[in-house]
């Protein structure tokens, strides 16, 4: 698996898109910091971008890489390598190279700006951790879709729909149900609904460190008790990990039956 991982990363690092992605974040980081001069605000704006963009890019990269390297994958499948190792290698390769682009692209401007002297370093670190999680989650979800859809165009469509659902539609439904059942205590519902969407969960994790603490009192007590504690933080990280582990397990399950 490590060999495949090595070659996948090697392959991706030479791809133009990795650099475009890297440069995008680099530019974003510099623009936000040096036009704003306010690290906290930069972190908030970055969160807005990351929450939406990282899943989208992860999904697109994942699905594209799968379909584009189909023949190459077949070449590998004929080699004496375990199936799951091939795909896990590729999966980790994409996720890692995306994470690398993101961490370096955002890290460099922040270091240049003097992040280490700023109190925002913890918020920023959390932002990067959450963004990395989102990379791993959405590449895994994209692989799930790709593995069950032979047709490239269809697969791509499903992947975008999945992103659209988790990034926008889900929150819309969430909001509508909150408004519709306004008279009932909705703390637990909100908590569970948040857990079921990695984008929401990531958003709340970051918000907790930013402006959300001021608002936390306004949400139900359940929510406050959960997210206000170290236990909540650990649980959230755990759930994010589950969001990686379960799709990865499903990839392996699908691989056992998949024909190429």
Partner 1 sequence: MKHLFIVLILTSFISHATIIDVCATCEVKKIGDATLIAKDGDIIRVQQGVYYETEIQISHAIQVIGINNPIIDAQGKQKSVFACKANGFTISGFTIRNIGLSHTKETAGIYVTKSRNFRLKKNTFINVYGGFVIQRSTYGVITENKISGTAKNETKAGNGIHLYRCKNMRIEKNETIGMRDGIYLEYVEKSSISNNINDNNIRYGLHFMFSDNNEFHHNQFKDNGSGCAVMYSDHINMHHNSFRDNWGMASYGLLLKEINDSVIESNLFEKNTVGINIDSCNRNKYKNNHLNSNGWAIKFQGAATYNFFEFNNFINNSFDLSFKSSLKNNIFEANHWSEYSGYDLDKDGIGDVPHRPLKLFSVVTTHTPDSVILLRSLFVDIINFSEQVSPIFTPENLIDTKPIIKVIDARY
Partner 2 sequence: MINITNLSKSFGKLSVLENLDLEIKEGGIFAILGPNGSGKTTLIKCLLGMVIPDKGTISINDKSILKKWDYRNELNYLPQIANFPANLSVNELIDMVKDLRPKTANETELIAHFGLEPFLKKKLGHLSGGTKQKVNIVLTFMFDSQLIILDEPTTGLDPVSLIHLKELIRREKEKGKTILITSHIMSFVDDTADEIVFLLDGKIYFKGSVSQLKERTKETNLENAIAKLITE
By C-beta, is 114 or 172 nearer to partner 1?
A: 172
Q: Are 210 and 58 in contact, with CB atoms under 8 Å apart?
A: no
Which residue's structure tokens are 């972190």? 43
Whole-angstrom Cα distance, residue 195 to residue 214? 21
Q: Is residue 83 close enough to count as binding partner 2 by CB under 8 A? A: yes
- Two tokens, residue 152: 């490239």
Q: Are 106 and 158 in contact, with CB atoms under 8 Å apart?
A: no
Whole-angstrom Cα distance, residue 190 to residue 206? 17
SS (H, E, C) 93-111: HHHHHHHHHHHHHHHHHHH
Count residues binding partner 2 (CB under 8 A): 25
Spell out, one character per residue from 23 to 62, where the chain touches partner 2: x when CB under 8 A holds, - when not. Answer: ----------------------------------------
* Among 176, 134, 159, CA closest to 66: 159
Separation of CA 232 from chain center: 20
* Among 105, 142, 129, CA closest to 18: 105
- Binding partner of 75, given partner 2, partner 1, none, CB within 5-8 angstroms per partner class: partner 2
20, 23, 27, 77: which one contacts partner 2 (CB under 8 A)? 77
Q: How many CB atoms lie within 10 A of CB 142?
A: 30
Spell out, one character per residue from 2 to 21, where the chain touches partner 2: x when CB under 8 A holds, - when not. Answer: -xx--x---x--xx------
By C-beta, is 75 or 161 nearer to partner 2?
A: 75
Separation of CA 255 from chain center: 23
Q: Is residue 152 close enough to count as binding partner 1 by CB under 8 A? A: no
Contacting partner 2 within 218-257 (CB under 8 A): 256-257
Beta carbon of residue 38, minimum distance to partner 1 (angstroms, whole number):
8
Q: Is residue 118 close enough to count as binding partner 1 by CB under 8 A? A: no
- Binding partner of 117, given partner 1, partner 2, none, CB within 5-8 angstroms per partner class: none
CA within 13 Å, CB half, 15: 19
By C-beta, is 70 or 224 nearer to partner 2?
A: 70
Which residue's structure tokens are 């691989």? 255
- If you compute the radius of gyration of the chain from its CA atoms, what whole number of angstroms results? 19
35, 80, 116, 117: which one contacts partner 2 (CB under 8 A)? 80
Q: How many CB atoms lie within 10 A of CB 199?
A: 21
Stretch that binds partner 2, among 70-78, 118-126, 128-136, 210-218 (CB under 8 A): 70-78
Stretch that binds partner 2, among 51-59, 79-87, 175-183, 189-197 (CB under 8 A): 79-87
Q: Are 102 and 135 in contact, with CB atoms under 8 Å apart?
A: yes
Spell out, one character per residue from 197 to 216, where the chain touches partner 1: x when CB under 8 A holds, - when not. Answer: --xx--xx--x---xxxxx-
54, 95, 101, 190: which one contacts partner 1 (CB under 8 A)? 190
Residues in contact with partner 2 by CB under 8 A are 3-4, 7, 11, 14-15, 69-72, 74-83, 256-260
């Amino acid at each position: 698996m490590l060999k495949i991982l090595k070659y996948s990363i090697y392959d991706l690092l030479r791809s133009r898109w990795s650099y475009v992605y890297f440069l995008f974040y680099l530019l974003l980081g510099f623009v936000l910091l040096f036009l704003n001069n306010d690290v906290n605000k930069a972190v908030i704006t970055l969160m807005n971008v990351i929450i939406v963009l990282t899943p989208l890019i992860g999904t697109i990269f994942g699905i594209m890489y799968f379909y584009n390297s189909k023949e190459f994958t077949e070449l590998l499948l004929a080699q004496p390598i375990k199936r799951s190792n091939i795909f896990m290698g590729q999966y980790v390769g994409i996720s890692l190279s995306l994470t690398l682009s993101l961490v370096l692209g955002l890290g460099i401007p922040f270091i240049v700006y003097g992040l280490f002297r700023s109190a925002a370093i913890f918020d920023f670190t959390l932002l990067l951790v959450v963004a990395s999680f989102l990379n791993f989650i959405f590449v895994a979800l994209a692989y799930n879709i790709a593995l069950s859809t032979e047709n490239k165009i269809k697969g791509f469509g499903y992947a975008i729909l999945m992103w659209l659902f988790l990034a926008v539609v889900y929150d819309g439904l969430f909001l509508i149900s909150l408004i519709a059942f306004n008279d009932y205590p909705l703390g637990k519902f909100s908590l569970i609904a948040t857990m079921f969407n990695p984008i929401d969960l990531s958003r709340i994790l970051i918000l907790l460190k930013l402006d959300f603490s001021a608002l936390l009192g306004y949400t139900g007590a359940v929510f406050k008790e959960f997210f206000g504690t170290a236990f909540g933080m650990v649980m959230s990280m755990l759930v994010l990990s589950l969001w990686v582990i379960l799709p990865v397990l499903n990839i392996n399950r699908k691989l056992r039956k998949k024909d190429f």
